Amino acid sequence: MRLGKFTCLLTALITVSAVCMTAKAAAAHENKTLRILFTHDMHDHLLPNKAEKDGWLVSSGGYARLKTAIDQERKNYPGAVLVDGGDYSMGSLFQTLFSGAAPELRIMGRMGYDVTTFGNHEFDFRDTGLARHLYAAIISGEKLPEIAASNLYFPDRKKMTGDLWELKNSMTAFGIKEYTVLERSGLRIGVFGLMGKDAADSAPMTGVEFRDIVKSAKLTAGKLK
């Protein structure tokens, strides 16, 4: 089942790498099935969208419906992995709570998301806004999804500003890494997130650097082998 739009080119790409684990399973003559549930570009649409159609008020979307779909899939596939490709913020009035309460990450944690990554819109409130978003999520004390950011780099110390230090420290406090490894259904699954070039160009106000996605993907995949 596909949750949300499933495309090959994403503003922020999450890649699930289970090749080596699949090879091990095959070598052991075992059939392993991995169910991946994927969303992206949710843009703070926590509540359903209501629109008039043929004289009727039609309600669609919203996190409650999404949670129902996720729960149904996990009932059928208990070992399913749930990942998000970023741009989970900015797009409704809930974005006003981004830096102060981080409702997006907290609700994703309650919904059982394993991993997400950053899209360009997570940088809309600049580096300080994202830093405060991460701190707000941490302070909540709630269960949160992991965040993987593989091609995000900070400049040399001489070029680091106060805002960049705040962001770097918040990412360290949150535990953001290049990749993470999940264990499901007897498999170890490597997950890493990449910011594509077009998306990076759409985040001009940040001081972080986004390196080539192909080189970064190969480098990270090599570390996972």
pLDDT tens readout for residues 127-141: 999 999 999 999 999
Q: How confident is the model at residue 29 (pLDDT cuts 50, 70, 90)?
A: low
Mean pLDDT highest for which of 11-15, 53-57, 170-174?
Answer: 170-174
For residue 190, tell me if it sits in a domain: yes
In a domain, 142, yes or no: yes
Domain at 161, CATH number? 3.60.21.10
Q: How many domains does the chain have?
A: 1
Domain membership of residue 2 (yes or no) is no
Give the CA distances from residue 204 to residues 34, 89, 125, 156, 200, in Å, rounded to whole numbers and listed in that order: 37, 17, 11, 18, 7
The pLDDT-based confidence of 3 (bands split at 50, 70, 90) is very low
52-90 pLDDT, tens digit each: 888 898 998 999 999 999 999 999 999 999 999 999 999
Q: What is the pTM of this model?
A: 0.85
- Does residue 41 sit within a domain? yes
DSSP 8-state secondary structure symbol assigned to residue 224: H
The answer as to whether 3 is a domain residue is no
181 CB neighbour count, 10 Å cutoff: 13
Instruction: Answer yes or no: is 76 within a domain.
Output: yes
Q: Considering only CA atoms, give the Rg of the chain.
A: 18
- How far is Cα 5 from Cα 27, in angstroms, rounded to an integer? 34
Residue 27 belongs to domain spanning? 12-224
Query: For residue 149, is it within any domain?
Result: yes
Q: Please name the residues in contact with 121: beta carbons below 8 A apart, sequence gap of 6 or more.
A: 11, 43, 86, 87, 89, 90, 91
Residue 5 covered by a domain: no
